[in-house]
Structure 1
Amino acid sequence: MEAMESSKIFTKNVIEAVIKVSILGVIVVWTFQLIKPFMIPVIWGMILAVAVEPFIARVAKMLGGRRSLAAVLFVLLIIAALVIPSVLLVMSSVDAVQGLAEQMQNKTLVIPPPPAKVADWPLIGNSVYQVWQLFSTNLEAGLKQFAPQIKAAAGPLLGSVGGGVIGVFMIIISTAVSGVFLAKAEKSSAVAEKIITRVVGEKGAEITALATATIRGVMQGVVGVAVIQAILSAVGMVVVGVPAAGLWAALVLVCAVSQLPPILVLGPVAAYVFSVAETTPAVIFLVWALFISASDGFLKPMLMGRGVDIPMLVILLGALGGMMMFGIIGLFVGAVVLAIMYTLFMAWLDEVDQKNVELEEGS
C-alpha cells in the first residue's frame, strides 16, 4: 500500500516537473524570438562600449565627471561620422547614375580609348585592352556583347549596396545602445560580472577582466590596423591623383577588417596608376601598396596582444573563426569566446597539476 502511494506521489511530482519545465521552455523560446532581432545591435553595442570605455572615461574627466554627456557626445559624433558620408555618397551615386542614364539615352556618352600601356599589363592586359577598345568605339555593341555579364554583376552589386545601407543603420542602433552602456558603465560592469560569476563561479571577475582585455585587444589589432591601412591607402591615392580615393580607401577598410589583403583593392588601383601616370610615381605607388598590404604582419603583433595575457594566435584564430561564422561581430565575439575557453582550459590544467602535486606530497 505504501509502495503504491509512493509511486503515485513520484508520478505526480514527475508530471508537475515536466509541466513546469515545458512552460519554462516555451517562455524561454518566446523570449528568445522576441529579442532575436535586437541581439546583433545589443552585442555590437556592448563590444563597442567595452572597447571605447577608457577613452570615454578620459573625456568624462575632462568634462568634470559628466559621463552621460561624454557618452552622448560619442554617440552623436559616431552617428554624424556615419550618416553624413553615407548621405553624400548616396547623393553623388544617384547623380552619377542619373547623368550616365541621360548620356546613354541621348547617345552622348563617350568612353576614351585605352592607353597603349594597358596592352602591356601582364596576363590580363590584352583582354582588357580589347574590351576597353570595343566600348570606346562602339558602346552599343559592347553592351549587347557583355549584357549577360553586366546583368549577372548588377544583382550582387545592388545587394551589396542594400546590405551596406542596412549595415549603416545597424551600426547607428548599436552606437545608441553602446551609449546607454557607457553612461552606466560601472553598473553595467557590475551586472556583467555578477552574471558571469553566477555561471562560472569564483573565477567570474577574472573571466570578466579577460573578456574586456580581449575585446580591446581585437579592436586594436583588427579594426585599428584596418583604419591605419585605409588612411595610408587614402594618402597614397590622393598623392598620385586617383579618382574617388575615399571610396577606394573605404574598400580597403572593408577588406582589412574582413582579414583580406588590401592588395585586392590596391592592386587594380596600381594597375590604373600605371596606365595614366609616369613610370616612377606608378612604381612608388605600387611599392607603397605592397607595404600597406604587408603592414599587418608587424602591426597586429604589436597591437592585438596588448593587454591580453594569452597567445596572440588564440585571439587571431578566434577572430577569424568568429568572422566566418557570424560576420563582423564574430571578429570580437569569436576572439572573446576562444580566449575564455583557453583560460578555463589552462586553469583546469593548473588545477589538475596542483592536485597531482598535493597527492604526491601526501603520499
Structure 2
Amino acid sequence: MTRTQDGPISWQDLPIRDDLRGLSPYGAPQLDVPVLLNTNENPYPPPPELIADLRVAVTAAATTLNRYPDRDAVELRKDLAQYLGHGLTGANLWAANGSNEVIQQILQCFAGSGRAALGFEPSYSMHRLISLATGTTWIAEPRESDFSLDPAKAVAAIRRHQPDVVFLTSPNNPTGTAAPMELVEAIVDAAPGIVVIDEAYAEFFRPGTASALTLLPGRPRLIVTRTMSKAFAMAGARVGYLAADPAVIDALLLVRLPYHLSALTQAAARTALAHVDALLGTVDAVKAQRDRIVSELTTLGLPVVPSDANFVAFGVNRESDNGAARRETKAVWQALLDRGVLVRDVGLPGMLRVTAGTPEETGAFLAALTETLL
C-alpha cells in the first residue's frame, strides 16, 4: 500500500527486523477497578517509616543529580549480598532496572544471534520474548500435564538441543510451584552453557523449599535472579538483581549500558534493604491469603495448582462439570471484572491466575468467583 507523507502508518509498516514481525508487546491489562489481583504485586504499601527514610535518601541523592551515579552500584550490591547471605559478597551480585533488564543483559552477553535459549513452558513469557528481542533462537520444551518437570526428560532435552542458555523458573510463573532441588541440580549439571534459575518469588516459598543459591559454590555458569518488586513491595522502583560467580558479573559489564541504574533508584533500593524486616513482615500475611485461596477453591471443587508464590493458578471448571456446559476462561475473567475484580488470563486453557491480596481483596475475589460459578 502506498502511503502519503502525511498519512498515518502503523509500526508494521516500518522497516523493523523480520523476526519481530508477528510479536505482540508484553503487558497485563491496566484497568481502574476496585480489586487488582492480576500482576502479582504485594498488596501492602511500604510502611511509613520506610517512606520517611526514602524522602531523606532521595533528597540527598537529588543534590548530586548533576553527576553520574555509581556506575556499578557497588554499595547496593554489598547490601544485596548481606540480605541474601549464603556467604555471598558484593562481587557475586549484580543489579539492574528490574529482573527483566537483568535477563536482557544475560542474553546479550551469553546468547544472541546464532545462539539458543531453552525454557520449559508454560513459564514466564518474558524469557521467550527477551530471547527473541536479542536475536536468540528460543526453544520451548513442554512441562507435564500437572506443570511439573521430569528431571530425566529435562536433561534429555538439554542434551538434544545443547542450548547456550537454559531458563528454569522457581516458583514457576504462571503456575506457582517451586522446582525440587534434584531437578535444579540435574539441569545445572547437564547444561553446556549458562543456567538461569529465576527466583522472583523465592521469599514466598513454602517451608522446607530450598533456594538455588545453595548450589552456587563451584558452579560458575549458574545464575540465580531475584527482584525487589514482589516481597519488598517495590515494584514501582524497578530493581532486579542476580547472584552468580564474580566472573559472570565481569562478563555482564561488557553489555551493560553506562550508568544504567540511576542514583535515585540505588538510594531507594538501599533504603528498602535497611528496612528488610518490616518489608518482609508482609510476606507471611500474603502467604496466608495464598493458602486461603488454595483451600477455598479446592472446597469449591476447582482444580488448583499448589503454589510457592504469591499467586494461585486455578481451573474455572469443576471436575463435576464434565458432563455440563464448560465455562470459557474469558467469560469467567469478564464475569469477575464485571464484579470489580481483575485477575490474569495467562493463556492456559481453562485456567486463570489470581494474586493473593489483602484479606478484604481475597474475600472479594472469592465472593465474586463463587457468584460466577452459580
Please report the TM-score for the alignment, with normalisation by the length of structure 1: 0.22
Higher relative contact order (CA 8 A, sep 6+): 2
Q: Which has the higher strand share?
A: 2
